[in-house]
A and B are shown apart, each in its own frame.
Chain A
Amino acid sequence: MLNKQENANPIWISREFTKCSGCRKCEIACSLHNENRIWPEASRVRVFMLVPGTEFPHLCTQCEDYPCVKICPFKALYVNKETSAVMVKVGECTGCGKCIDACPGKVPHIHPQTKKILICDLCGGDPECAKVCQEGGWNCLKVVERGDHEFKLYSRIPEETARNLATKFYGEKAEELL
């Protein structure tokens, strides 16, 4: 577990899913930053649209107990203590997917080309996704001080988040739409 004493400025990307416009600028910014291409399927943050209108960014929430880091059989994952991000040692990763299974929200996914795991690294503390979201004034993604909260709650499978948002927006009609 992250030792907060050692950590000067740990951050969290706060997310308010109901404010997501579905513009996918976070995917564009993330893939440009990491791949130097616009490449939605290689983006560390992925916008799901299982029901139109319920778009939301799906990205690592840095669980307090880091189940993905713990489960990795190849010690390919570790925690960056400055930012709290999960880091991938690409050379060690075999793309086995055990970290996906261990993740409560099934957030990590495999890079379509390199076949290595993709997990948000918080861009070293200055995440591009939150920047573009803020520039656009949507305020769905925002960098905040990490503090002491149950961030793991925000790691839910896309189907569950989609159901929640659909119910909030569309009421009883939501069940038919999932």
Chain B
Amino acid sequence: MLGYAGKFLEVDLSNSKFKNITLPEQWLKDYIGGRALAAKILSERLINDWENVDPLGPENILFFMTGPFTGYFPGGRTCVTGKSPQSNGMVGSTVGGEFGVELRCAGYDGIIVTGKAGKPVFLFIKDSDVEIRDASRIWGKDGKQTDTLLNRECRQVLAERYPHMGVWKEPAKLYIGPAGEQKVRPSVVMAKWTHAAGYGGYGAVMGSKNLKAVTVKGTGPLPEVSNLEKIKQMIDEVCKGAYGNVLWRRWGTGGGGYSFGAETSSEPIRNWQEEWHDQKSYGVDQFENKVWVKPAWSDFGCPTNCLKISCIHSSKYKGAITDNPDYELQAFLGPNLGVFTPEENVYLSSLVEDLGLCGIQSGSVLGFAAELFQRGILTKDDLGGLDLKWGNVEAFAALAKKIVKREGIGNLLAEGTYRAAIKLGKLKNKNLLPYTVTSKGISIGAHGIRSGRDFSREIGYACSVQGGDHTSMTDVPIDGWGSEIWTIFNDSAVMCIFTSFSISPTFRYEFYTAITGQTLTRKEWLNGGGIKTLQIQRALLLLGGPDLKWNPKFDDDNPERFYEPLPTGPCKEQSADKASVKQKIKQYYEQAGWDKNGIPTAETLSNLKLEYIDKNLNRLRDR
């Protein structure tokens, strides 16, 4: 099909074997690529025994997926997925960078990894030459060291094997840090030091497979498209729109650390005890003037350059390097921990990225621990001597390292906020869930719902098939602008939303047609691939297991904290309204074709020709 490389690479790490596979053309037409296509493949292969599939066992399948938009739509992204060790469902997690572009230029639409290597390895792909290489020298290295060592090794191999081509550029790389190696659930799959496929915990899945990295150099062109002239015009249109967004280009999400506190009152502060602050020390001008060394940083084809690079040149934080930090890390490794200076935020962000932790999930678990310390539930003794007061940057850094080493309390916190709360709650004989702000085992992104001023919505997290993922929130009506159905399209075509603010809702479907030559309307996606993927992901999420299962009656809801009134700021006393949330959840179930227990009905699934999903849901209906 036009717009596709035409094959997937399947790697069996247990037996060190690879093969090229092709998928039925109808699957590509229905599910496009990325998240949706992976949901289809994953469910076809594993749903019959889903509850017994350990996300961190060799039986899990790990996907690195592109979509037909990868490389064409400005701003390169790649989708990483599989069974999630955070939600026990499937989370389509995307990461910026050139990996997907290189992969398509190497002739693959995606990589499907099964099994587990006997020792640490990395995958090296140069067009059709695929190799599993020893990674024992790289295992244990932090993110920046890993990037350096992979560059050196891969460029040397390229120069030796293909000597007369000139100087080789670096390959694209996805890798894990020590957190992934230690199967820490809040760990990420990383690229370019600071980019991460965060939600889902796929760093731990790579670690469980002994897979340190995947590197790829593709020397071919991007796959041929149906209407190149139209695509060129449309790329121009996207870029011109983005260029007009002057302040967004200048600040990216870097203005958020201040404005989501001061203006929208929706920023996690001290583990969401508050959502408002007016700390001018945390203004974007402070970041810009104190720590940004590069004011514009982009991925492939990106007109927006929402990234900026920060580096600390003096003080005890010297040598810390990260991007902006972007809003999520600004929030979670800033006000969420009682930290309000750019330097400290850059230091913690750089550390967390070097360790391969997720900034959101690890910031959440650190904040959770600090609130327990504040309340006297965790003591200095419990924390191995750490004085985990709000704002104590050194203590938070030390605890992050303990988590990655799984040392002392770190071993417990390495399970992520929700699981840590359950385990620690048993030890302390106390219900600790009120101090967690999670949905389906995934800590909620830095966009609270209590003020009603952010883009987050009352049931956005509660009903999402990706739990706390702020990039995949949902809302009623299910065909409305806030529905997860559209996010599924973005993650399946695999496109960046930060380059596309100016485009119309139908633009992306025209773009799809210009790439593939297939027609697809918004409505067709809504009633086809979009809703099918939603049902598949919902089924996998509810089947869950092996360690945790979700009961929609309790788990399709907001964390308790969102029902507590905001204590400070312009939205003081505001909270989510339980009755309204309940009502909307009921509406959402009806619109999604789910029964009163939140389970997709047989009729819904049969209409979508998803009988294989329906058959497996009987196990839930019987219980």
Residues of A within 8 A of B (CB): 18-19, 21-25, 28, 31-32, 35-42, 46-53, 95-97, 100, 106, 108-110, 112-113, 135-138, 157-158, 169-173, 176-178
B289 proximity list for chain A (CB < 8 A): none
A138 proximity list for chain B (CB < 8 A): 296, 305
Residue B194 interfacial (CB < 8 Å): yes
Known: A37-B221, A41-B219. A169 touches B294 (CB 8 A): yes
Q: Between A and B, how many residue pairs show CB distances below 8 Å?
A: 122
Known: A109-B167, A169-B309. A23 touches B147 (CB 8 A): no
B300 proximity list for chain A (CB < 8 A): 23-24
4 closest residue pairs by CB, A with B: A109-B166, A23-B298, A112-B219, A39-B221
A113 proximity list for chain B (CB < 8 A): 220
Map CB proximity to A onto B305-321 as digits: 1 under 8 Å, 0 otherwise: 10001010100001101
Q: Is the CB of B221 within 8 A of A23?
A: no
Residue of B nearest to A36 (CB): B228
Q: Is the CB of A110 within 8 A of B165?
A: yes
Which residues B178-235 have CB closer than 8 A to chain A?
Answer: 192-194, 218-222, 224, 228, 232
Residue of A nearest to B228 (CB): A36
Instruction: Give Cα A108 to B305, complex, Å.
Output: 28
Known: A24-B301, A31-B221. A157 touches B243 (CB 8 A): no
Known: A40-B101, A177-B148. A112 touches B166 (CB 8 A): no
B297 proximity list for chain A (CB < 8 A): 21-22, 53
Instruction: Give Cα A51 to B145, complex, Å.
Output: 11
Instruction: Give Cα A32 to B221, complex, Å.
Output: 10
| Given A21-B298, A23-B299, A171-B318, 18 extra CB contacts under 8 A | A19-B296, A23-B301, A24-B98, A24-B300, A25-B301, A37-B221, A39-B222, A41-B169, A46-B169, A52-B193, A97-B166, A106-B166, A112-B220, A157-B167, A169-B293, A176-B148, A177-B144, A177-B148
Known: A41-B218, A52-B192, A95-B164. A173 touches B301 (CB 8 A): no
Instruction: Give Cα A100 to B442, complex, Å.
Output: 52
Instruction: Give Cα A142 to B319, complex, Å.
Output: 32
Residue B449 interfacial (CB < 8 Å): no
Q: Is the CB of B319 within 8 A of A48?
A: no
A41 proximity list for chain B (CB < 8 A): 105, 169, 218-220
Subset of 11 A-B contacts with CB under 8 Å: A21-B298, A23-B302, A24-B300, A39-B222, A41-B169, A110-B165, A138-B296, A158-B169, A171-B311, A173-B311, A177-B144
A53 proximity list for chain B (CB < 8 A): 193, 293-294, 297, 309, 321
Q: Is the CB of A38 within 8 A of B313?
A: no
B294 proximity list for chain A (CB < 8 A): 18, 53, 169
B164 proximity list for chain A (CB < 8 A): 95-97, 110
Identify the interface centre among A42, A52, A95: most chain B CB within 10 Å of its CB. Answer: A52
Q: Is the CB of A39 within 8 A of B309?
A: no
Residue B34 interfacial (CB < 8 Å): no
Q: How far is the CB of A46 from chain B (nearest CB, A)?
A: 6
A135 proximity list for chain B (CB < 8 A): 239, 243
Residues of B within 8 A of A (CB): 71-72, 98, 101, 105, 144-145, 147-148, 151, 164-167, 169-170, 192-194, 218-222, 224, 228, 232, 239, 243, 293-294, 296-303, 305, 309, 311, 313, 318-319, 321
A171 proximity list for chain B (CB < 8 A): 311, 313, 318-319
* From B239, B243, B293, B305, contact of A21 by CB (8 A): B305
* From A22, A109, A136, A176, contact of B165 by CB (8 A): A109
B169 proximity list for chain A (CB < 8 A): 41, 46-49, 158
Known: A110-B166, A176-B144. A50 touches B319 (CB 8 A): no
A137 proximity list for chain B (CB < 8 A): 243
Q: Is the CB of A173 within 8 A of B219?
A: no
Q: How far is the CB of B70 from chain A (nearest CB, A)?
A: 11
Q: Is the CB of B167 within 8 A of A23?
A: no
Q: Is the CB of B147 within 8 A of A158?
A: no
Instruction: Give Cα A117 to B420, complex, Å.
Output: 58
Residue of A nearest to B224 (CB): A37
Residue of A nearest to B222 (CB): A38
Instruction: Give Cα A176 to B354, complex, Å.
Output: 13
Instruction: Give Cα A157 to B155, complex, Å.
Output: 14
Instruction: Give Cα A169 to B219, complex, Å.
Output: 30
Known: A38-B71, A46-B169. A136 touches B194 (CB 8 A): no
* From B194, B228, B303, B318, contact of A23 by CB (8 A): B303
B296 proximity list for chain A (CB < 8 A): 19, 21, 138
Q: How far is the CB of A117 from chain B (nearest CB, A)?
A: 8
Q: Is the CB of A38 within 8 A of B221?
A: yes
Q: Is the CB of B311 within 8 A of A106?
A: no
Identify the interface centre among A37, A41, A135, A171: most chain B CB within 10 Å of its CB. Answer: A41
A172 proximity list for chain B (CB < 8 A): 318-319
Instruction: Give Cα A34 to B218, complex, Å.
Output: 19
Q: Is the CB of A158 within 8 A of B167?
A: yes
Instruction: Give Cα A37 to B193, complex, Å.
Output: 29
Q: How far is the CB of B334 from chain A (nearest CB, A)?
A: 21
Residue of B nearest to A42 (CB): B221
B224 proximity list for chain A (CB < 8 A): 37
A158 proximity list for chain B (CB < 8 A): 167, 169
Q: How far is the CB of B188 from chain A (nearest CB, A)?
A: 16
Identify the interface centre among A22, A46, A100, A110: most chain B CB within 10 Å of its CB. Answer: A22
B309 proximity list for chain A (CB < 8 A): 53, 169
* From B145, B193, B218, B298, contact of A22 by CB (8 A): B298
* From B105, B147, B222, B243, contact of A136 by CB (8 A): B243
A157 proximity list for chain B (CB < 8 A): 167
Instruction: Give Cα A106 to B169, complex, Å.
Output: 12
B218 proximity list for chain A (CB < 8 A): 41
